[in-house]
Chains A and B, each alone.
Chain A
Amino acid sequence: MERRRSFPDVLAGVVFILIGGAFVAGSLGYELGTPLRMGPGAFPLLVGAVVAALGLAIVVKGLVAGEVIAFGPIPWRAVGVIVLALVFFGFTVRGLGFVPASLVTALLTTVASKRVRPLMAVAVAAGLTLAATLIFVVGLQLRLPLWGPWLGF
């Protein structure tokens, strides 16, 4: 097999090493126990080490004989906007209430697409908010205030 480097392989391996390593480091802070009575740290230590080792193997393989995968472009705008929309929802749904939180989340999300026009974004967001309110609050009796305390109601 010809030698070929694969950036996605190396990146995936590094992700596994980092997460596995973080769990290993964290689990050393808990009691490990004995084989008879394994402490809370033993299992994560073991599995974390396995994940890190597999990550290392993927890096090595990626440097020697990697998989050919097209990494492709990253839609930075979509990533940023969708993250913002979801965090906004989690942060404000209790304070602002269901309707404003949903409306802003939906509006932010529609902007993730490069093809969307402003008027359409507003229409989609309003329609989705109405649909979500009818389905979740009216239909399914979700116990959430429609308008939250931050708005002075």
Chain B
Amino acid sequence: MELLDNLALGLSTALLVQNVLYCFVGVLLGTAVGVLPGIGPTATVAMLLPITFSFEPVTALIMLAGIYYGAQYGGSTTAILINLPGESSAAVTALDGHEMARQGRAGAALATAAVGSFIAGTVATVVLAVAAPPLARVALQFGPAEYFSLVLLGLIVSIALARGSALKALAMIFLGVLLGTVGQDIYTGTPRFTFGQRELYGGIDFVSVAVGMFGVAEILRNLENEQTRTAIVSKVKNLWPTREDRRRIVGPILRGTGLGAALGVLPGGGHVLASFTSYAVEKRVSKRPEEFGHGAIEGVAGPESANNAAAQTSFIPLLTLGLPAHPVMALMIGAFIVHGITPGPNVITEEPALFWGLIASMWIGNVLLVLLNLPLIGLWVRMLRIPYQVLFPMIILFAAIGTYSLGFNAYDVYAIVFFGLLGYVLIKCGCEPAPLLLGFVLGPLLEENLRRALIIERGDATVFLTRPISAVLLALAAAALVVAVLPAIRKRREVVFAEED
């Protein structure tokens, strides 16, 4: 059994003392930022990335991954207790979870979320282990033309999943691609758009873009309307669900896991889509749909399982193709590159200990999360009392220090000012920041493969249509674009996301 050997290798890596320790640090931090409204996993990973440069590559990735899926966990706690989703995917959990808390069943809701997330995380980790190697083998056949088409497809699909106007999301993607061209040209070495500043020759650091767009811009948004948080936190008791509850959550957990595992692979927010879809499905199959919105435990179990499963499987495109499905994944690409590893299909054969160690660590991380969340729930509730007036100066200061320590380059700090302001204006105008970051990270890949494909084919641009895999990918991209802008489907997307606003 090759799979068992691989998993054994992974476990032996993931169970090393320092890896378990940093996995714990990761999920702890992830839970904390998931609980705290106003700071999300993207900004956190961006700020902590420079710190991990001195770690072993596998340790660094285990910790960063832990922050990501830990945040999905933490987000549900605030959603249930104070009706304030810490993470966008937990918004749907608040509908029934908070209602349960108001009926004095907060304990059952929290336990359901934790158990559902754990089962989903475990199953999705196995899916990841089974699905990744064959996909990586297919990806090894890809030439530059296929990669160009694949990256384009990934970018287009991510707008189909983004909230709000598809036109604006498209513009954000290309703006990201455009900003990615700053710096020295890969083929000729010509410095582009650097205004003669040597500091810009290496390009704009994506950490600055992420910290600016997700950290600084978000703080400015929150300072628009300052209000004291009226955290009326209900007492948590009776953590264990009743027998009736246990019977009712089995189905939703399993369906949510399946949905989440499938949708998580999609670029650009599959975990948000997964939790909304799961909620809709549970409402439809339930014998008592009228209970939804009034504290139906199925409405907590399904979406919570779905978003956690999706958080795990969103690593599949990253680990097999080198394509990020989420801004956090885009940052993890940076972590790979810093350690001299090119993310993509070769990781699995060249760095098997890293690949399988990361996968195994996710399961360990899920165990740690259950231990962290259920007995320590009181601690997280207390964290909600930290006033925002303390929190946002901390984020700004740590953002400045973190980005400066990237390369001891003051331009990286100035860049977060620029991207913070740009992001703030664009977010205020209804543009989502995530597509820009994906475009920024994937843009150089797009340009490199486009130019390489043309050189190989002696300037024949039809290569993208005559190579079958590339043609199929481009056709899918065109179809996704049509889907994203067609009014009828737009309407349905709005319905799906309407409850979030």
| Partner-B contacts on A (CB < 8 A) | 8-9, 11-12, 15-16, 19-20, 23, 26-27, 30-31, 34-41, 43-44, 47-48, 50-51, 54-55, 57-58, 61, 67, 69, 71-75, 78-79, 82-83, 85-87, 89-91, 93-94, 102, 105-106, 109-110, 112-116, 120, 124-125, 128-129, 131-132, 136, 140-144
Q: How far is the CB of B384 from chain A (nearest CB, A)?
A: 18
Q: How far is the CB of A69 from chain B (nearest CB, A)?
A: 5
Whether B174 lies near A50 (C-beta < 8 A) is yes
**Alpha-carbon distance A123/B302, docked complex (angstroms):** 44
Per-position 1/0 for B407-433, Cβ under 8 A of A: 010111110110011101110111100
- Counting from the closest, the 4 A-B pairs by CB-CB distance are A36-B459, A90-B413, A12-B429, A40-B185
Q: How far is the CB of A124 from chain B (nearest CB, A)?
A: 5
A-B contact count (CB 8 A): 199
Q: Which residues of B contact A86 (CB under 8 A)?
A: 216, 396, 399-400, 413-414, 416-417, 420
- Determine whether B368 belongs to the interface, using a CB cutoff of 8 Å to chain A: no
Whether B429 lies near A69 (C-beta < 8 A) is yes
**Alpha-carbon distance A37/B188, docked complex (angstroms):** 10
Task: Give 9 pairs: A residue, B residue, CB < 8 Å, sorted on A.
Answer: A26-B192, A30-B192, A51-B171, A58-B165, A73-B224, A86-B417, A94-B410, A105-B400, A120-B389
Q: Which of A26, A47, A87 contacts B177 (CB 8 A)?
A: A47
**Alpha-carbon distance A93/B414, docked complex (angstroms):** 13
Residue of A at shortest CB range from B187? A40
- Determine whether B458 belongs to the interface, using a CB cutoff of 8 Å to chain A: yes
Q: Which residues of B contact A36 (CB under 8 A)?
A: 454-455, 458-459
Whether B192 lies near A113 (C-beta < 8 A) is no
Q: Which residues of A contact B185 (CB under 8 A)?
A: 30, 40
Residue of B at shortest CB range from A61? B167
Whether B188 lies near A40 (C-beta < 8 A) is yes
**Alpha-carbon distance A15/B175, docked complex (angstroms):** 10
Whether B216 lies near A82 (C-beta < 8 A) is yes
Q: How far is the CB of A59 from chain B (nearest CB, A)?
A: 11
Whether A113 lies near B168 (C-beta < 8 A) is no
Q: How far is the CB of A126 from chain B (nearest CB, A)?
A: 11
Whether A20 lies near B178 (C-beta < 8 A) is yes
Q: Which of A40, A71, A79 contacts B220 (CB 8 A)?
A: A79
Whether A16 lies near B175 (C-beta < 8 A) is yes
Q: Which residues of A contact B431 (CB under 8 A)?
A: 12
Q: Which residues of A contact B425 (CB under 8 A)?
A: 11-12, 15
Q: Which residues of A contact B223 (CB under 8 A)?
A: 75, 78, 112-113
Q: Which of B54, B216, B226, B429 contacts A114 (CB 8 A)?
A: B226
Residue of B at shortest CB range from A23? B178
Q: Which residues of B contact A55 (CB under 8 A)?
A: 171
Per-position 1/0 for B152-175, Cβ under 8 A of A: 000000000000110110110011
Per-position 1/0 for B442-467, Cβ under 8 A of A: 01000100110011001101000000
Given contacts A23-B193, A75-B220, contact A37 B455 (CB under 8 A): yes
Q: Which residues of A contact B388 (CB under 8 A)?
A: 113
Per-position 1/0 for B389-402, Cβ under 8 A of A: 11011101111110
Q: Which residues of B contact A124 (CB under 8 A)?
A: 389-390, 393
Given contacts A9-B430, A58-B167, contact A91 B410 (CB under 8 A): yes
Q: Which of A51, A115, A116 contacts B178 (CB 8 A)?
A: A51
**In residues 189-243 of chain B, which contact A (Cβ within 8 Å)?**
190, 192-193, 216, 219-220, 223-226, 228
Q: Which of A8, A67, A72, A106 contacts B393 (CB 8 A)?
A: A106
Q: How far is the CB of A47 from chain B (nearest CB, A)?
A: 5
**Alpha-carbon distance A85/B216, docked complex (angstroms):** 12
Whether A12 lies near B426 (C-beta < 8 A) is yes
Q: Which residues of A contact B220 (CB under 8 A)?
A: 75, 78-79, 82
Beyond A35-B459, A58-B168, A109-B392, list 7 extra A-B contacts (CB 8 Å). A12-B168, A20-B174, A35-B454, A36-B458, A58-B165, A71-B428, A87-B417
Q: Which of A26, A40, A90, A106 contacts B404 (CB 8 A)?
A: A90
**Alpha-carbon distance A59/B454, docked complex (angstroms):** 34
Q: Which residues of A contact B401 (CB under 8 A)?
A: 89, 102, 132, 136, 142
Q: How far is the CB of A140 from chain B (nearest CB, A)?
A: 6
Residue of A at shortest CB range from B444? A43
**Alpha-carbon distance A125/B397, docked complex (angstroms):** 10
Q: Which residues of B contact A61 (CB under 8 A)?
A: 167
Given contacts A8-B428, A11-B425, A35-B454, contact A43 B400 (CB under 8 A): no
**Alpha-carbon distance A39/B454, docked complex (angstroms):** 12
